Amino acid sequence: MVNPSIPELIQLFNADRDPILLEGKYSAMRVSSFRFFRGTSHLFNHDIPTNSFVWNGPTTWNVGDLHIENFGSFKADNRVAYFDLNDFDECILAPNLADLARLTCSLFVAADFLKLNDAEVNHLVKTLTDTYAITLAHGYIRPLEQETATGIIRQFLQSVEYRKRRLFLESRVVYKKHKVRFSKRNLHIRKADKDTKVRISDAINSWAETQPDPRFFNVLDVAHRVAGTGSLGIERFMILVGGPGKLGKEYLLDLKKSLPSTLQARLAANQPVWTSEAERIVEVQKRIQAASPALLHPLVLPDGSYVLRELQPIEDKIVLINLVGKVKKLENLVGNMGQLCAWGHLRSSGRQGSAITDELIEFGLDYDTWRQPLTDYARQYAQQVRTDYAAYCSAYDDGFFTL
């Protein structure tokens, strides 16, 4: 039996997705090898060899799709702004090196668009792995917020802290007399049909009854949300809510369908039992992050489970392309990424099968035994990504992904 080609594997993986949004995903993946890498975590997770050193690391709660753009800012329920790991769709109980290998590989893959030479990317990789190991070895955990952040992260949090909700809303909604609806001109918003609006509104209304102020979550409009790369085509909604008489003070919610982690097939025997995929995502996110985004909650609908959270003006990522030629700032940022990865693993230690803190400290101290194999594997797989990307581009240009 002939093994499927890379284009065929990608097509099979995305077969159940919304064809309109899937066209956008395929187009985004054509832009660069890094966008391709972001959109194909299933290939990376599938390709880790069965006998790889990656499987020998201590078991931790992993993000499952960790790369250098899966970090960002948000406000938690306490309304404090944090910078932390985000996007937990693929989260799973796995060896810690699964997270670190993908994060390290993402640096090698991104070297092209960041215009880094070999010496620069090797230095950044060493900074990442050094900082991760040192942070584990110390065994202490802290959050990354404006008061504790330094360098580029502190500047970034200061720049987003005072964004106005009204301006955030006006780019997404239209006010007409006493009504407010989603704008048809925003590229991240696609109109939902009447049945879909009723289905989602009913789900939000049922959940709202469990909240202190149900009237706050009065649903004003529902639309499909177009966002991300890897998740494009998965059912996702933007929901406009607001209490009566509060025109101009509405809030936006994100509701995203949850699917099994692409590492599930390789690690199924080691996983706890969850009531839903959304419960897995929400619970692991709460364990790994210092504080989680406001209103983070799992919802179960007839067609599956969804993760609900607030959409915020402050929610953003550092634009990496703006750091081209600024290696010192990249070094500061990558060091913080190593810290955040280690803090997440430490923070979630000793939970439902994850290694205890003492084991993670010992692993950090044992840095010399795993640093070079990790770096070599990440560099080697980055070359595999470029090869796979070339095959993808050829198939895409030949119309293979035309829907």
- Rounded Cα distance between 382 and 202, Å, is 45
The residue-averaged pLDDT of 210-222 equals 93
What is the tens place of the pLDDT at every residue in 271-322? 999 999 999 999 999 999 999 999 999 999 999 999 999 999 999 999 999 9
What the block records as the tokens of 272 is 């706890």
- Rounded Cα distance between 151 and 48, Å, is 35
Q: 39 vs 30, 85, 228, 362, 389, CA distance in Å? A: 10, 18, 9, 34, 11
Burial class (CB in 10 A: 0-12, 13-18, 19+), 1: exposed
Domain spans in the chain, listed from the N-terminal domain onward? 6-162+320-397, 165-260+270-311
Q: Residue 270 above 90 pLDDT?
A: no
What the block records as the tokens of 254 is 């994100």
- Rounded Cα distance between 385 and 166, Å, is 42
What is the tens place of the pLDDT at every residue in 30-44? 999 999 999 999 999
Q: What's this model's pTM, rounded to 2 decimal places?
A: 0.95
Q: How confident is the model at residue 130 (pLDDT cuts 50, 70, 90)?
A: very high
What is the tens place of the pLDDT at every residue in 309-331? 999 999 999 999 999 999 999 99
The residue-averaged pLDDT of 202-208 equals 95
DSSP tag of 316: B
- Rounded Cα distance between 357 and 137, Å, is 9
What the block records as the tokens of 230 is 């890897």
**Average pLDDT value for the chain:** 94
| Radius of gyration of the chain, Cα coordinates, nearest whole angstrom | 21
Q: Which of 269, 252, 315, 390 is nearest to 86 (CA)?
A: 315
